[in-house]
Amino acid sequence: MGALEKIREIEAEMARTQKNKATNYHLGTLKAKLARLRSELLIEQTGGSSSGSSGEGFDVARLGDARVALIGFPSVGKSTLLSTLTATDSEVAAYEFTTLTCVPGTMQYKGSRVQVLDLPGIIEGAAHGKGRGKEVIAVARSADAILIVLDAGKEGLNRHREILETELETVGLRLNQTPPDVSFTKKATGGIKFASTVPLTQLGPEPEKVAMQILREYRVSNADILARQDISVDQLVDVIVGNRLYKPCLYFYNKIDTVTVEEVDQLARMPHSCVGSVHKKFNVKEPLDDDLLKTTMWKYLGLTRIYTKRKGQPPDLADPVVLSKLRKGTTVQSLCMNVSSQMLRDFNFALVWGKSAKHSPQRCGLSHLLADEDVVQIVTKTNSQQKQDKNYQKMVQNFADKYHKKKFEAKKQKQSKLKT
């Protein structure tokens, strides 16, 4: 019996089984088997990668302050949305599968540059390779956030949102979730030790027994598990597997001009949803105009604008440094890393004006969390302070070596030119 047949059998058995305290242990075992079989099936189909992203993929350079992937079924308006957001020409037609490759564009908003990727439409079964699904999902795993585009007129009958969520979760993407607060450490010996700091109501009356059975399914005999929150069986499986990616996801219901006001109101009230019409310019305007969709995308990407200033000079409000919570974070240390590694090495303290400061200016360290539109002045160490550093002599020697090497190479190049 193949992996697909086993998966169908387990799914059918889970559908037949009633959910209560008595069957919780049995359902937990089935879920662990199902997750393991799906991982094995993806490894077979993708040539050795359990993440499902080892397909050919689309060769797109990573640019800008953030990356957003447009995912949806064919003919829902992804290409038109890309053209509206970024002023990039993407082929648009009245037939399905117009876009056959990845079309990148750059959205300029609030001083930031967001890379938006228009991907080919995917269909049910994309996680297992149908309709170039592997390549599309591989790009989705590399994005900072996902924008799922749905047709408001078709959503009521076709359940496109549910299908796309299932496809992305199959390959290890967790949408609008946070990693469980669980520490999992494999050991060479000592057996399995399971503990929790809170009551585990979702694992049934015997959570330790359920955890033991799940670990046996993954052939783990020695490990320490400490749960600091009330986790479910699926979350425990995710922690054990360890290759899950947690992405923010926004659902955009396009073509609301084709449905009634009551249906628009119902779609707008769904979690993580935004409604609009690219064709009628509802909530989606021109590339340089502000609108609801751009504002919501900015919030989901967690971008923060920081204005820098030199001593005795006004801040540079024309060119902000854009930090991202999803990449390096929004601390003073992230700002220094974004500007220069030498600035981080010579950092002394920072003066901060803005929402994150208790008073203006506030003297802060590297761990200070910055807010949007803060003004920051970085103060570096003086020469006397740098000389007190234990690595000062090594740093000076490295600088001298680089200088003499560069001088020697320039002399050698000059001599070679004279010979010719």
Is 298's pLDDT higher than 70? yes
Closest CA to 246 of 122, 331, 134, 141: 141
Is 80's pLDDT higher than 70? yes
User: Of the spans 179-183, 213-217, 388-392, which averages the highest pLDDT?
Assistant: 179-183
CA distance 285 to 277: 10
Predicted local distance difference test score (pLDDT) of residue 379: 92
What is the tens place of the pLDDT at every residue in 148-164?
Answer: 999 998 876 678 888 88
CA distance 263 to 267: 6
β-partners of residue 249 are: 146
Asked whether 106 and 64 are in contact (CB, 8 A), the reply is yes
Average pLDDT over residues 302-314: 92
Lowest mean pLDDT across 18-27, 205-214, 392-401: 18-27
CA distance 324 to 305: 9
Alpha-carbon dihedral of residues 368, 372, 374, 376, nearest 10 degrees? 60
DSSP for 158-212? H-HHHHHHHHHHHTTEEET----SEEEEE-SSS-EEEEESS---TT-S-HHHHHH
Predicted local distance difference test score (pLDDT) of residue 95: 45
Asked whether 304 and 375 are in contact (CB, 8 A), the reply is no
More confident residue, 409 or 14: 409
Predicted local distance difference test score (pLDDT) of residue 54: 46
Lowest mean pLDDT across 97-106, 328-337, 388-397: 97-106
CA distances for 406 relative to 215, 392, 409, 412, 420, angstroms? 57, 21, 5, 10, 22
What is the tens place of the pLDDT at every residue in 270-294?
Answer: 999 999 999 888 999 888 889 999 9
pTM of the model: 0.81
Helix (H, G, I), strand (E, B) or coil at 292: helix
CA distance 283 to 294: 9
Average pLDDT over residues 160-177: 87
Is 107's pLDDT higher than 80? yes
More confident residue, 122 or 157: 122
Structure tokens at 208: 């330790």
Lowest mean pLDDT across 126-135, 174-183, 296-305, 363-372: 126-135
Asked whether 225 and 211 are in contact (CB, 8 A), the reply is yes
| Residue recorded with tokens 């992405």 | 247
Residue 17 gets which letter from DSSP? Answer: S
More confident residue, 13 or 3: 13
CA distances for 324 relative to 82, 292, 340, 342, angstroms? 22, 20, 16, 21
Is 46's pLDDT higher than 80? no
β-partners of residue 226 are: 183, 195
Predicted local distance difference test score (pLDDT) of residue 42: 62
Predicted local distance difference test score (pLDDT) of residue 45: 53
More confident residue, 281 or 45: 281
What is the tens place of the pLDDT at every residue in 317-329?
Answer: 888 999 999 888 9
Average pLDDT over residues 353-361: 92
Predicted local distance difference test score (pLDDT) of residue 55: 45
Is 308's pLDDT higher than 90? yes
Lowest mean pLDDT across 37-41, 200-204, 284-288: 37-41
User: Of the spans 3-17, 301-315, 383-397, which averages the highest pLDDT?
Assistant: 301-315
Is 34's pLDDT higher than 90? no
Q: How confident is the model at residue 342 (pLDDT cuts 50, 70, 90)?
A: confident
Mean pLDDT over each residue of the chain, to the nearest integer: 84
CA distance 50 to 310: 49
pLDDT > 90: what percent of the chain?
36
